[in-house]
């Protein structure tokens, strides 16, 4: 299976650091506390480490700068998300793979032309059996009329079926939508999921941006699109299923949900106001966790998710009497993160980001 673009970028960054160090995998592995074969897999894009602390240790022994550590963490987060989202989506939508493999087959054997000849007006039977002699000969004109009648009947049937399909729906008080009006409801867009690249995804992205979601419209269903879908589902009061189901499509077209939220500048300002004890580190932790995006969602390998500015986990939300919807409120999220910080007056709840920020100037 080919590595995703996010994994390739992450692996390229690791290779750059490794090549620059001038040392081999085994030697770097001993210094970073990981096997040389594992480092080779990570640098080759064959797998992504689940724990960022190993990545940080490797980068440090390679002499990575503070800026390079921040960029490496960003690339690792995207690659880790891509892997985890693909696994979660496959579990949530097992029908997609089954439908792709269920190609129709036919059991009817091919019939040779010689074994089933068609009618030929120019062929006259050489013999007529006694039974056939008692029956009146069938007129060729009647056969032709019968054939034409059959064709006409087929055409009428098609017209009738088409009429029923486009007949106004009196039960809902309106007509069925014309093709292209609501593309996601068409048969072509029955399944819209991770890894897909087509007009269905482009339509989905257009609807999300119309709802004020921040993402590019490129027709590529990647981790960023899934994050926006999940955020939209939560804001719409729908189950966060990782799947663009009928309820989600209906809510997208209804245009009643707004994904408008704080800018990153406003988020950073409010963090500094709440974390008066250590504002610079708090902003850096939030930037590492969510890029200061109040609607950021990150899935975990165990099926849980992290939410909002400070990426508060499902478990922590339960402890804080919160919900994913509350976690998307930047004011609530920042204050909840401060409550977690106040327990030990440090950022132990964000170990990966804390590791990434070691030796990094506060921002």
Determine the distance from the C-alpha atom of residue 168 to the mean position of all C-alpha atoms in its chain, rounded to a whole number. Answer: 35
CA dist., res. 268 & res. 2, Å (int) = 38
Q: Quick one: which of 278, 291, 267 has its CA closest to 341?
A: 278
DSSP lists the bridge partners of residue 305 as 299
- The pLDDT value recorded for residue 74 is 83
The DSSP H or E segment spanning 298 is: strand 297-299
Q: Which domains does the chain have, with CATH numbers?
A: 5-91 (1.10.260.40), 183-254 (1.10.101.10), 264-356 (1.10.530.10)
From first to last of its 363 residues, the chain has per-residue pLDDT tens of: 567 888 888 988 898 898 888 888 888 988 888 888 889 989 988 889 987 878 888 988 898 887 788 788 888 888 887 665 555 555 555 554 444 444 443 333 333 333 333 333 333 333 334 444 444 444 454 454 455 555 555 555 544 544 443 444 433 333 334 445 799 999 999 989 888 999 999 999 999 999 999 999 999 998 899 999 999 999 999 999 888 999 999 999 999 999 999 999 999 999 999 999 999 999 999 999 999 999 999 888 788 899 999 999 999 999 999 999 999 999 999 999 999 999 999 999 998 888 877 755 444
3-state class (DSSP) for residue 221:
coil
Strands 312-313 and 297-299 come out as unpaired
Q: How many residues does the chain have?
A: 363
CA dist., res. 295 & res. 226, Å (int) = 12
Asked if residues 13 and 46 have their Cβ atoms less than 8 Å apart, the reply is no
Which positions ≥6 away from 153 have C-beta within 8 Å?
none
Asked if residues 35 and 72 have their Cβ atoms less than 8 Å apart, the reply is no
Asked if residues 257 and 235 have their Cβ atoms less than 8 Å apart, the reply is yes
Q: Quick one: which of 245, 292, 237, 281 has its CA closest to 92?
A: 245
CA dist., res. 34 & res. 163, Å (int) = 68
Residue 220 tokens read as 């590529």
CA dist., res. 267 & res. 282, Å (int) = 11
- The pLDDT value recorded for residue 273 is 98
- The pLDDT value recorded for residue 154 is 57
User: Environment class of residue 333 by beta-carbon count within 10 Å: exposed (0-12), middle (13-18) or buried (19+)?
Assistant: buried
pTM of the shown model: 0.58
């Amino acid at each position: 299976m080919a590595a995703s673009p996010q994994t390739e970028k992450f692996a390229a960054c690791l290779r750059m650091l490794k090549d620059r160090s001038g040392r081999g995998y085994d030697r770097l592995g001993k210094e970073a506390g990981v096997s040389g074969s594992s480092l080779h897999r990570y640098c080759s894009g064959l797998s992504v480490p689940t724990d960022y602390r190993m990545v940080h240790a490797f980068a440090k022994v390679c002499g990575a700068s503070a800026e390079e550590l921040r960029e490496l963490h960003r690339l690792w987060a995207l690659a880790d998300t891509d892997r985890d989202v693909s696994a979660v989506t496959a579990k949530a939508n097992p029908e997609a793979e089954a439908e792709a493999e269920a190609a129709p087959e036919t059991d009817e054997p091919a019939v040779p032309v010689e074994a089933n000849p068609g009618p030929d007006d120019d062929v006259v039977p050489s013999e007529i059996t006694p039974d056939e002699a008692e029956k009146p000969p069938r007129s060729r004109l009647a056969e032709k009329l019968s054939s034409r009648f059959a064709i006409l009947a087929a055409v009428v049937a098609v017209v009738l079926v088409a009429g029923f399909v486009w007949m106004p729906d009196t039960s809902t008080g309106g007509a069925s939508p014309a093709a292209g009006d609501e593309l996601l409801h068409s048969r072509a867009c029955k399944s819209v999921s991770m890894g897909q690249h087509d007009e269905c995804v482009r339509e989905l992205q257009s609807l999300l941006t119309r709802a004020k979601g921040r993402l590019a419209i490129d027709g590529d269903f990647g981790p960023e699109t899934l994050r926006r879908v999940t955020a939209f589902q939560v804001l719409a009061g729908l189950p966060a299923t990782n799947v663009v189901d009928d309820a989600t499509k209906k809510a997208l077209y209804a245009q009643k949900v707004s994904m408008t939220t704080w800018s990153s500048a406003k988020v950073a300002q409010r963090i500094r106001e709440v974390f008066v004890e250590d504002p610079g580190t708090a902003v850096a932790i939030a930037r590492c966790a969510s890029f200061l995006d109040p609607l950021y969602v990150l899935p975990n390998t165990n099926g849980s998710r992290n939410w909002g500015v400070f990426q508060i986990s499902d478990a922590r939300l339960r402890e804080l009497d919160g919900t994913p919807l509350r976690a998307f409120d930047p004011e609530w999220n920042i204050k909840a993160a401060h409550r977690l910080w106040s327990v030990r007056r440090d950022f132990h709840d964000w170990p990966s980001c804390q590791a990434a920020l070691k030796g990094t100037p506060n921002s």
